[in-house]
Structures are given as C-alpha cells and as structure tokens.
C-alpha cells in the first residue's frame, strides 16, 4: 500500500518527486527513495526532523512558485533550420536550437534529461555542443532529477549562464529551491507534458525485453522520424541490443507505449497537474505543434515545434540569439490550446490506474503484454526496419526535397 501522507507535510498523491525538500532540509532528515510504484518520493526520518517547516515552505506542490520575470505571452510554430538536428529531435528541434546558442554564445551550462548507460533517465548537464545529443529527444519516463538543482545553483553562484529544461513540475521545484538573488542568469524551458510513468515500470520493461532477447540493451529510442517517406515523428519504440538486431514496435503494439500514451500509469500528481495551463512556469515552453494543420505552408511534411515565449527575459534572448536558429511564424495560442490537451487540462485519470502497478509488479509479464499491447503486424515490422536501416544520403535527399 502507498502511504497517503508524507509525514503530515503533504498528501502523497500531490508530490511530484522534485526532491527540493530533501535538498533544503537543514537536518538532512529527508531522503528520496523508490516507492512501491517505482517513483522517487521523499521519506522523512522522524527522529532527525525538528519540525522547522522549511520543507513545507519550499514545496512547490504546497506553495505556488513565484513568477520572477515579467510575464508576456508569445506563441510560435517553429522548425530548426538545420535539417539534421530536426530529424533527430522529437518535433522541430526547438530544444537543441536554443541550447546550441546558449552553449556557444553565452558559454552557458545546459541541463536536461538523458538516457544514461545504465538505462536510467537522469537529469545531467552539458557544457559543450558535442554532448548535447545526450539531452536530445523525448524520454517518456520520469527523469531522476538527482542533485541537479544543487549543481545549477553552484554554476549560478559562479556567475555562469544556466539553461534548465524539464517537465513543468521540475522547473517549479528548481525555482522553489533557488534564492531569488541567483535568478538573473537562469533561463528555464518547460515541456508541454502529458505526464510521466515511473522509472520502476521502465526498468521492468527493459528487463523483460532483455530476458526475451537474451541480450543487454545498448540504446532505446522513444520516437524516430521515418526518413523513407516523411519527416513526421513516429512513436516507434526501438530497443537496440548489444550484438543483436533491434526490436522495433509501433506504439499500438508496444506494451510500454500503450501504457504511456493511454496515461494508465502516470504519477498520481499528473492527473491533477496544476501546470497543464497556457500560463506557463518556464521562460520558454516547448512541445509538439498540434494545430499545424492550420499552417499548411509551414514545413508541411515535417513535425513542427510549438515554442512559447513567456517572459521579457526570454523574448530578449530569443531576439538576440535563439531565433536565428529557426524558421518560425506566429501561432494562435487558442487553437494550439484546443488541440494540445495538456495546455488546458491534466490527463484524465483512467480506472486502470487503481490497479495497474500491482499488476505490473505482481503478474507475469506475458499477461501484461497480452492485456496492454496488440500483436505486431509483419508489414509494420518491415516498414520500421526499412526506416531504421535507410542510409543517411537518402535521409538527406529526402530532407532537401521536403525542406
Ligand atoms: C514525458 C513527456 C511528455 C510529453 N508530453 C507532451 C504532450 O503531451 N504534448 C506536447 O506537445 N509535447 C509533449 N512532450 C514534449 C515533446 O515530446 C518534445 O519534447 C517537444 O516537442 C520538444 O521537442 P524538440 O524537437 O524541440 O526537442 P527534443 O530534442 O526532442 O527535446 C528534448 C528536451 O526534452 C527534455 N526531456 C526529454 N525527456 C525528458 C524527461 N523524461 N523529463 C524531462 N525532460 C525531458 C530534454 O531535457 C530536452 O530539453 C512531452 C515530453 C516528455 C518528456
């Protein structure tokens, strides 16, 4: 059973696992540990806690994050001018375009989520363009934020520019961790977010696939673009095994993707997310442009990004630098809100959420797969293999033809 209360401080279902409480506790009484569903959650050691209430005062789930920079609202449909970058990104390469400028022009530090060698998604930082690929593309699982807020603080104290990307709750946690005096050189990018499944579920999924393939995983891709016929993102789930053929599944045929896309196993707080609004927490917001059909002449055969510019500070850096990296045009925010659900409401909690984690951890994986994924058709498999194996010259020709 999940504890429904964290030491009388916060209802468990509201905790986003940002870990700010554990970082700011003067007694070191709060630790982040895996809960029974495989999410990181705070555990308070009662004997160390002196009841000072600092954790409550810094918790973004309790105390709304103060908006520091003057607010504005600009919304763009955007596509990275460099085709190769856009191809490797989830939508239009919004994040990498901004990050390259930030690293090269401002000698900044960029934080984001990476799939690390141990196949855990963690927040890391990079200080050079070469390593930016680690943060590129979406990883549809809650990333372990670890001690990245402390690292960001260290860089800000040393007068460095910091670009911090993450889900809106991770950005809110960061703001509630940092002193106001350190915010001048901090820029934040939040994602339009559907919600996050647990790292425990993701680990289980990898283990089961490795058992079946009898090999260890080398890499996982959650989202690829199909170079042979379009530049539109497909949600193919690809697992590359050491010394073996990749396993490629369409979203409807993959158990993990089915569970993710139907929102069956999101963190409890995701179903009541207070950040699923057009009024954003970050300086920038990025997401998939879901109202693209209203802009038929804007990169028609490509996945485009939505970029929201939410503060005066963001507008300034966009005009000075970031904007150079993109083709962009103004986007009607009301239309985008209408088509991109998580800009106006949290994901609706499905009935399966009551029991899915018990099933996942207690029942045979074969039963879970049969229940939540469909059989893959041979035609889909062949098309997916062709997409992966197509040479880069073909990708480039295709990119030019559609550019
Ligand atoms: C869990 C999740 C749910 C999402 N849900 C939606 C949605 O409902 N609607 C929508 O429009 N867009 C959603 N997105 C955003 C979308 O997938 C793309 O990230 C976005 O369109 C930007 O793509 P890009 O091409 O600019 O850059 P990319 O290179 O694809 O973006 C990479 C950025 O995403 C961050 N990132 C990747 N994985 C994670 C993670 N697990 N946790 C925190 N940050 C991460 C990286 O740090 C980096 O900043 C979601 C992303 C995630 C991770």
Which pTM value belongs to this model? 0.92
Higher pLDDT, 73 or 167: 167
DSSP string computed for 46-62: TTT-----HHHHH-TTT
> 95 CB under 6 A from ligand 1?
yes
Average the pLDDT over each of 42-46, 221-225, 253-257, 270-274 and give the range with the smallest value: 221-225
The length of the chain in residues reads 403
Q: Which atom of ligand 1 is nearest to the CA of 170?
A: 43
pLDDT tens for each residue of 96-134? 999 999 999 999 999 999 999 999 999 999 999 999 999
Average pLDDT over residues 7-32: 92
| 309 plus 323 within the same structural domain | yes
Ligand 1 centroid distance, CA of 191 (Å): 6
| 26 plus 173 within the same structural domain | no
| 32 plus 180 within the same structural domain | no
| 128 plus 49 within the same structural domain | no
What gap in Å lies between CA 300 and CA 332, rounded to an integer? 17
Average pLDDT over residues 128-154: 97
Structure confidence at residue 255 (pLDDT)? 92
Candidates 138, 221, 345: which one to mutate for ligand 1, based on the most atoms within 8 Å of Cβ?
138
| 335 plus 188 within the same structural domain | yes
Structure confidence at residue 374 (pLDDT)? 67
| 72 plus 48 within the same structural domain | no
Asked whether residue 293 carries a pLDDT value surpassing 80, the answer given is yes
Q: What is the tally of structural domains in the chain?
A: 2
Average pLDDT over residues 297-321: 95
| 361 plus 383 within the same structural domain | yes
Mean pLDDT for the chain?
89
CA distance to 42, 52, 299, per residue, from 24 (Å): 12, 11, 46
- Report residue 17 as tokens: 């696992």
Ligand 1 centroid distance, CA of 135 (Å): 10
Residue 47: which domain range?
A: 2-58
On the 0-12 / 13-18 / 19+ scale of CB atoms within 10 A, 317 is buried
Structure confidence at residue 375 (pLDDT)? 56
Average the pLDDT over each of 222-231, 282-291, 372-381, 394-403 and give the range with the smallest value: 394-403
Helical ranges in 165-311 per DSSP H: 168-177, 199-213, 255-261
What gap in Å lies between CA 206 and CA 201, rounded to an integer? 9
Ligand 1: which residue has its CA nearest to atom 30?
137
Ligand 1: which residue has its CA nearest to atom 26?
94
pLDDT confidence band for 17 (50 / 70 / 90):
very high
Asked whether residue 221 carries a pLDDT value surpassing 50, the answer given is yes
> 305 CB under 6 A from ligand 1?
yes
What CATH number did the domain enclosing 48 receive? 3.30.70.3270
Ligand 1 centroid distance, CA of 28 (Å): 32
Final residue belonging to a domain, choices 58, 83, 102:
58
What gap in Å lies between CA 137 and CA 233, rounded to an integer? 11
| 235 plus 134 within the same structural domain | yes
What gap in Å lies between CA 388 and CA 272, rounded to an integer? 38
């Amino acid at each position: 059973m999940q504890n429904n209360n964290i030491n009388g401080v916060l209802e468990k279902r509201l905790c986003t696992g940002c870990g700010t409480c554990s970082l700011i506790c003067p007694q070191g009484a709060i630790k982040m540990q895996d809960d029974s569903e495989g999410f990181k959650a705070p555990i308070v050691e009662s004997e160390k806690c002196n009841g000072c209430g600092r954790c409550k005062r810094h918790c973004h789930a309790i105390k709304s994050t103060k908006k520091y920079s003057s607010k504005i609202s600009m919304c763009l449909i955007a596509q990275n001018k460099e085709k190769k970058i856009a191809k490797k990104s989830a939508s239009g390469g919004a994040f990498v375009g901004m990050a390259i400028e930030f690293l090269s022009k401002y000698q900044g530090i960029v934080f984001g989520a990476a799939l690390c060698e141990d196949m855990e998604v963690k927040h890391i930082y990079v200080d050079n363009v070469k390593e930016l690929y680690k943060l590129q593309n979406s990883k549809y699982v809650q990333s372990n934020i670890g001690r990245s807020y402390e690292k960001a603080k260290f860089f800000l104290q040393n007068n460095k520019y910091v670009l911090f990307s993450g889900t809106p709750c991770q950005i809110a946690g960061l703001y509630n961790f940092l002193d106001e005096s350190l915010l001048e050189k901090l820029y934040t990018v939040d994602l339009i977010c559907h919600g996050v499944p647990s790292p425990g579920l993701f680990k289980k999924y990898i283990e089961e696939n490795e058992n079946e393939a009898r090999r260890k995983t080398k890499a996982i891709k959650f989202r690829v673009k199909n170079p042979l016929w379009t530049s539109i993102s497909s949600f193919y789930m690809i697992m590359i095994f050491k010394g073996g053929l990749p396993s490629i599944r369409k979203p409807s045929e993959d158990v993990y993707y089915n569970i993710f896309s139907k929102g069956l196993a999101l963190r409890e707080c995701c179903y009541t997310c207070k950040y699923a609004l057009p009024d954003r927490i970050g300086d920038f917001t990025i997401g998939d442009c879901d109202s693209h059909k209203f802009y038929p002449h804007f990169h028609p055969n490509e996945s485009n990004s939505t970029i929201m510019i939410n503060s005066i500070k963001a507008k300034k850096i966009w005009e000075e630098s970031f904007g150079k990296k993109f083709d962009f045009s103004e986007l009607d925010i009301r239309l985008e809100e209408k088509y991109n659900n998580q800009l106006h409401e949290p994901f609706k909690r499905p009935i399966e959420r009551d029991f899915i984690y018990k099933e996942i951890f207690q029942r045979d994986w074969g039963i879970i797969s049969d229940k939540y994924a469909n059989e893959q058709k041979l035609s889909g498999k062949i098309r997916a293999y062709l997409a992966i194996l197509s040479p880069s010259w073909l990708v480039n020709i295709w990119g030019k033809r559609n550019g």
